[in-house]
A and B are shown apart, each in its own frame.
Chain A
Amino acid sequence: MINPGHGRGPDSGTTAGGSNFDPFPANLRVLVVDDDPTCLMILERMLRTCLYRVTRCNRAEIALSLLRKNKNGFDIVISDVHMPDMDGFKLLEHVGLEMDLPVIMMSADDSKSVVLKGVTHGAVDYLIKPVRIEALKNIWQHVVRKKRNDWNVSEHSGGSIEDTGGDRDRQQQQREDADNNSSSINEGNWRSSRKRKEEEVDEQGDDKEDTSSLKKPRVVWSVELHQQFVAAVNQLGVDKAVPKKILEMMNVPGLTRENVASHLQKYRIYLRRLGGVSQHQGNMNHSFMTGQDQSFGHLSSLNGFDLAVAGQLPAQSLAQFQAAGLGRPTLTKPGLSVSPLVDQRTIFNFENPKIRFGDGQGPMMNNGNKQMNLLHGVPTGMEPKQFAGSHMRVQQQMTGVRPGQNVQSSGMMLPVADQLPRGGPSMLPSLGQQPILSSSASRRSDLTGAVAVRNSIPETNSRVLPTTHSVFNNFPSDLPRNSFPLKSAPGISVPVSASYQEEVNSSDAKGGSSAATAATAGFGNPSYDIFNDFPQHQQHNNNISNKLNDWDLRNMGLAFSSNQDAAAATAAFSSSSSTQRKRWETDATVVAEHGQNIQPPSRNLNHLNHVYMDGGSVRVKSERVAETMTCPPANTLFEEQYNQEDLMSAFLKQEGIPPVDNEFDFDGYSIDNIPV
């Protein structure tokens, strides 16, 4: 074991041992967070004695912003459990989801329940106060372990059967089926998923250098990226999402399967956690990110609910974080801190830095309007590009799904959407539009969240982070409402949409999109509000969006088949309402035909739906939806983010669709309404 060379005594320690002196683990960069100044001082002293480089902070929010600003600036985080401004577990989740760093919890409270909570939230260790220096001396092991695991994951990441063409179909189907073969995630067997990864080893090759190297390139899951991720996951269906497919859908250069896998793993955990704590609004536990591996199984409860939970993060805080993280000015609207997203330092910078969604989350999610909500949850960190990518996927999915799929399946994209009744984080990160689809903002948030999740998992490297990152937590508080489309996210496999749709359809329809957002939000950076940005269609959205949300989500699912991106979008949308879905499907298909013109985000949701149909347009839809959902300001942002022409076109297409859109009442969405 490497000993810094001096336990007590002069700080320098460098002189110790001469040739025997092993500098490792000296200079480990530790961030310690505790509101108690006495403890903080003592800990800092102890850590310095261990030759670590310590940064201390007494507020969790400050810590988060520090982490976001310096994505690779820290190796490990130590945090107290009880803090006035934010629950330590929430911080834990955020860190896990966004930064994928090992987090150690500590507290004077040694009750089993609290310790267990630490474990479930993904803390790598739990220290009881008073903390002794001996305990701190060994924290480096967590850093090494994590890197090793990430490396391993990447090595074996070839496995997911994401490329199964059946993804889309799967999306439509119930989550439970089909997932198994194609997405390892379904199995929830992390190990097996690992094996699948082997097939994609080539991808990872670049990721993992020698295991011993601690400096593994870390993917920064910006909000946009996360949103993309979430969108992709939603599209594929949370349970069915496999890293490979997600990766494909996201289409982010430089992102490897491992990155996605590890992010997915976290996301799933997060979703799961959300499912379990419906009342955790805005709980930003990143844990769900761990879903990267196919062990999506964990995230069974991802359904929108998770996202919703994730979305709980008050939009404001999210926005703040986003802003902080991204260095962007915080959007006035708490929920819409999209801009921060744009700024991402992440690798995957989108061209459109703004993460519109970022902000929308808070407010959006809950209302019917909140289409965008999905995005709100999306961490701002997601680069627009990434997001767009995910949107695309979503859209594609939607389109794919549409044809012939029952609306239900279309919800795949944002299965969450459904689930996220509240328009929680719209899973459709890319969709931005999500809200459009399901009038209920809640849906959207799901989508966004979901999408966000997807996007933001650039760092697949970590193998299924054990830390449960409540990605969704990042999401603005709206999450809970949304049918957190993330459901599919857990498995965030590419085929997200499929599963999502189901969920989306069913209950939340509204929140569908938000779920996506939520998902995204969770992962990436604060710009979870990807979906939030959607507000463009606010006006429509109100009614339509709700419907749309559901609808969108559904559509997303539909779109899947045709086009991953589109599907994703659809999924996001479809979440809005099951009934709507059906109709939407038709719509979506119709839209798809249209051609993807990228219309201004403000298209009514209907358009969005259609948009989803198309592959490219799908994205647009999501955007729109998101915007319509509730975040008015977000619209534009969102749109920009996605910038993806596809999205726009998708959206545009929608608009092109005859009036049906507007009056499209997603709830009672009947296919015949869709003007083709």
Chain B
Amino acid sequence: MQRQVALIKQSLFDQGYLDEQFMELEELQDDANPNFVEEVSALYFKDSARLINNIDQALERGSFDFNRLDSYMHQFKGSSTSIGASKVKAECTTFREYCRAGNAEGCLRTFQQLKKEHSTLRKKLEHYFQLARQAGPKETARRPK
């Protein structure tokens, strides 16, 4: 079971969904904070859902206030980076570039892509955490100090 969990995690890294930052977070986890990473993830998804909503609304309005969109995206990027969601982060960067270029079409397209990545990651992580919980705390590998 634990191996399975480890494999899943590894694949997430391999596929580029997660990056090194995620490992950093895992290292912060310990006996006193056994579910730290999961908690952070949950918080991230909750907060980013809110951001996505805001952006959706802003885009729907059609006014394309690029500054505001850029500002939202900056926030989004910040949290995605902190958790190690690399694909999501990449989409954020692309989105911001379109914003700066004033390319509304590009923004919309990218945003759809971003939402997709975001939701994919969420599912994968949820699955991962679920398994990890079942497998027991040991499966969380700690980077050797």
Is B75's CB under 8 angstroms from A36's CB?
A: yes
Within 8 A of A (CB), among B1-49: 21, 24-25, 27-28, 30-33, 36, 39-40, 43-44, 47-48
Question: CB-CB < 8 A to A46: which residues of B?
Answer: 28
Question: CB-CB < 8 A to A129: which residues of B?
Answer: 78, 81-82
Question: CB-CB < 8 A to A7: which residues of B?
Answer: 145
Is A38's CB under 8 angstroms from B145's CB?
A: no
Is A36's CB under 8 angstroms from B30's CB?
A: no
Within 8 A of B (CB), among A38-80: 38-39, 41-42, 45-46, 49, 80
Is B40's CB under 8 angstroms from A41's CB?
A: yes
Q: Which of A108, A129, A133 has the most CB of B within 10 A?
A: A108
Is A38's CB under 8 angstroms from B28's CB?
A: no
Known: A8-B142, A41-B39. A108 touches B81 (CB 8 A): yes
Interface size on B, residues (CB 8 A): 29
Interface check B79, CB cutoff 8 A: yes
Known: A36-B47, A37-B43, A42-B40. A8 touches B78 (CB 8 A): no
Interface check B71, CB cutoff 8 A: yes
Determine the main DSSP class of A at the interface with B: loop
Is A39's CB under 8 angstroms from B30's CB?
A: no
Question: CB-CB < 8 A to B31: which residues of A?
Answer: 10
A38 to B84, CA, bound (A): 11
Is B28's CB under 8 angstroms from A36's CB?
A: no
A132 to B82, CA, bound (A): 9
Interface check A198, CB cutoff 8 A: no
A131 to B79, CA, bound (A): 11
Q: Nearest chain A CB to B89's CB is how many angstroms away?
A: 9
Q: Nearest chain B CB to A5's CB is how many angstroms away?
A: 12
Known: A108-B78, A130-B24. A38 touches B142 (CB 8 A): no
Is B74's CB under 8 angstroms from A82's CB?
A: yes
Interface check B83, CB cutoff 8 A: yes
A35 to B84, CA, bound (A): 18
A592 to B16, CA, bound (A): 77
Interface check B77, CB cutoff 8 A: yes
Is B32's CB under 8 angstroms from A10's CB?
A: yes
Q: Nearest chain B CB to A508's CB is how many angstroms away?
A: 33
Is A38's CB under 8 angstroms from B79's CB?
A: yes
Question: CB-CB < 8 A to B30: which residues of A?
Answer: 8-11
Known: A8-B142, A10-B30, A36-B47. A109 touches B40 (CB 8 A): no
Is B21's CB under 8 angstroms from A130's CB?
A: yes
Q: Nearest chain A CB to B42's CB is how many angstroms away?
A: 10
Q: Nearest chain A CB to B3's CB is how many angstroms away?
A: 23
Q: Nearest chain B CB to A566's CB is how many angstroms away?
A: 50
Is A39's CB under 8 angstroms from B82's CB?
A: yes
Interface check A107, CB cutoff 8 A: yes
Is A39's CB under 8 angstroms from B78's CB?
A: yes
Is A39's CB under 8 angstroms from B79's CB?
A: yes
A347 to B82, CA, bound (A): 41
Q: Nearest chain A CB to B19's CB is how many angstroms away?
A: 9
Chain B residue with the shortest CB-CB distance to A109 = B74
Question: CB-CB < 8 A to B40: which residues of A?
Answer: 38, 41-42, 45
Is A130's CB under 8 angstroms from B43's CB?
A: no
Question: CB-CB < 8 A to A39: which residues of B?
Answer: 78-79, 82
Is A82's CB under 8 angstroms from B32's CB?
A: no
Question: CB-CB < 8 A to B32: which residues of A?
Answer: 10-11
Question: CB-CB < 8 A to B24: which residues of A?
Answer: 130, 132-133
Q: Nearest chain B CB to A132's CB is how many angstroms away?
A: 6
Interface residues of B (CB under 8 A from A): 21, 24-25, 27-28, 30-33, 36, 39-40, 43-44, 47-48, 71, 74-75, 77-79, 81-84, 142-143, 145
5 contacts between A and B (CB under 8 A): A8-B142, A9-B30, A9-B145, A45-B33, A49-B28
Interface residues of A (CB under 8 A from B): 7-11, 35-39, 41-42, 45-46, 49, 80, 82, 107-109, 129-133
